[in-house]
Amino acid sequence: MRLMDQNDEIATHTAKLFAQELESFEKNGTVTVDGHTMHLTVSASPCPVRRGTGILFAIENFTKQYYYQKALKDAIGQAERANKAKTKFLGHMTHELRTPLSGVIGIVDLIMDT
């Protein structure tokens, strides 16, 4: 399993960890396994071992959270578009109702005065 578009960057950071140029690193990326794309976070930090320093890697699969967050953003976008459409509709309807009502109110006033 290899993280797409991040292989060189992860290898570079791992080398820097071994050289003690970095304390740790964390990278997000995607990997496709059996046609399914997974969203992963790779974390690494040095780990002392008997013969020097090793690297402790942790890989977290946040695919579900990624899609939940994407769905939430899409829903917020839809709600904002619906709110704008509602505001525009009410603005037009207010104008369309007020114009004829002004005429009706004027005629009623004339009738009441006679």
Question: What is the Cα 17 distance to its own chain's centre?
Answer: 31
At 22 the pLDDT is 84
Q: Does residue 3 carry a pLDDT above 60?
A: no
In-domain check, residue 94: no
Neighbouring-strand partners of residue 45: 56
Q: What is the pTM of this model?
A: 0.58
Q: Given the structure tokens 């046609």, which residue do they identify? A: 35
Asked whether the beta carbons of 7 and 15 are under 8 A apart, the reply is no
In-domain check, residue 81: no
In-domain check, residue 37: yes
Q: Does residue 12 carry a pLDDT above 90?
A: no
How many domains is the chain partitioned into structurally?
Answer: 1
In-domain check, residue 78: no
Residue-wise pLDDT for 26-82, tens only, equals 888 888 888 888 999 999 998 888 888 888 999 999 999 999 999 999 999 999 999
In-domain check, residue 33: yes
Domain that holds residue 17: 7-61
In-domain check, residue 15: yes
DSSP summary character for residue 89:
H
In-domain check, residue 111: no
Beta strands in 1-114 (DSSP E): 25-33, 36-49, 52-61
